[in-house]
Amino acid sequence: MVTGVHERMLYVALEVHDEHPLFEAPGSNFLEPSTFGDRVWLGFEDREGVQQQVFLAATAPGAVSARRIESGEYGRRTARIEPRIRGVWRPTADGYRVEARVPLSMIGKGFGVLIDDRDARAAAPR
């Protein structure tokens, strides 16, 4: 589904204060922990009552698409782009700013944000 011109959106703006902002490794596999940088997770319940989670991660400043982790055949996991959720990732003097838009039609009850802060690749989140 492509978002329509007149679809109502939830706009999210996050100002993250981080002494060691870390981008994902360029050309990274978004499921390989050794390539992980800082991530922003969005969680919500969809209109059918199913819990949904997507994350925003950037390899450089600029536009980002949300990704959803899905399990496929034989338990193989993939990080598929969720094209309805778009955003931008910008560095700031003391961290970074993430802005995203989420179609309200995707959201049922609840909405939450988790900042996955990492100071080095392959390090555990803080």
- Asked if residue 12 lies in contact with residue 64, where contact means CB atoms within 8 angstroms, the answer is no
Which amino acid, 9? Answer: M
pLDDT tens string 4-45: 567 899 999 999 999 999 999 987 788 888 889 999 999 999
- pLDDT (average), residues 100-125: 90
Give the global pTM: 0.88
Taking the C-alpha atoms of residue 35 and residue 122, their distance in angstroms, rounded to an integer, is 7
Higher pLDDT, 120 or 4: 120
| 14 DSSP β-pair partners | 98
Using left for φ > 0, alpha for ψ between -120 and 50, and beta otherwise, residue 84 falls in: alpha
Taking the C-alpha atoms of residue 37 and residue 60, their distance in angstroms, rounded to an integer, is 11
How many residues are recorded in the chain?
Answer: 126
Higher pLDDT, 74 or 24: 24
**Residue 3 pLDDT greater than 80, yes or no:** no
Taking the C-alpha atoms of residue 29 and residue 98, their distance in angstroms, rounded to an integer, is 21
